[in-house]
Amino acid sequence: MNERPLLRVCNVTKKFQDYVALDNVSLEVAKGEVVCLIGGSGSGKTTLLRCINQLYDINDGSIWLEDELVGYRQDGRKLYPLTEKQAIRQRLKSGMVFQRFNLFPHMTALQNITEGPIQVLKTPRREAEATASKLLERVGLADKASNYPAELSGGQQQRVAIARALAMNPKVMLFDEPTSALDPELVGEVLAVMRELALSGMTMVVVTHELGFAKEVADRVVFMDRGVIVELGNAKDMLIKPQEPRTQAFISAVIG
């Protein structure tokens, strides 16, 4: 933890017209750390992930990944937006897993995973397929390589989506409520894959309502409300004994 943070979010503000989705948010994530973002709908959690992954432009502040400014090129004191090609290269450093799986319906599980490495990284097909097969085995789907998304359960589709993100060798994995679209009986299989990723040392930022998972796996938990970070700290301390009244009310509501 004494190393320079892998990810730095510095005083970031994001507005949608007059609505302030993120208000001067700052956060640092160390290499190998798992940080869970919790909070109600509209608190800014997903917006923060999308800013890190350059799906949204920020209005103020800066984001740094591996000491590289995200979204811009710096020349002296001036900032210049990255070209699309530069942005794509930089975006590869962060793997994003969405609520909805966003798999290509006309491609098999294997093809969904190999598409990015072949088309973007220019990885030879045989090498990409070998890597994809290993990733499918890692997420427990070695026997589903030739299945199409429609032939897979929601949990299986999400595990393919995780494998697809891993195939691009990201420095940090971003998860946006990856279990929220799943039937309750399928949640565990996705969380098991995420748990294994965390144990392997993958840096992860996870938006989740699964507080049990956060307590078990996260190093730190961040509670957001109305576009600001209200409280952050050690996962177990935060979830067992939160200090801020808004955090206490949220956790009580989720736990019931």
What is the full DSSP assignment across 129-182? Answer: HHHHHHHHHHTT-GGGTT--GGGS-HHHHHHHHHHHHHTT--SEEEEESTTTTS
Q: Tell me, what's the pLDDT at 84?
A: 84
CA distances from 77 to 64, 74, 80, 87 (A): 16, 7, 10, 20
Q: Name 217's bridge partners.
A: none
Q: Tell me, what's the pLDDT at 256?
A: 66
Candidates 214, 7, 200; CA nearest to 222 is: 214
Sheet arrangement for strand 60-65: 19-29, 7-16, 60-65, 68-69
Neighbours of 185 (CB within 10 A): 9
pLDDT tens, the chain, 256 aa long? 457 899 999 999 999 999 999 999 999 999 999 999 999 999 999 999 999 999 999 999 999 999 899 988 888 778 888 888 888 888 889 999 998 888 999 999 999 999 999 999 999 999 999 999 999 999 999 999 999 999 999 999 999 999 999 999 999 999 999 999 899 899 999 999 999 999 999 999 999 999 999 999 999 999 999 999 999 999 999 999 999 999 999 999 988 6
Q: Tell me, what's the pLDDT at 69?
A: 92
| Residues 6 or more apart in contact with residue 18 via CB below 8 angstroms | none
Q: Tell me, what's the pLDDT at 100?
A: 86
Q: Name 172's bridge partners.
A: 94, 203
Q: Tell me, what's the pLDDT at 2?
A: 56
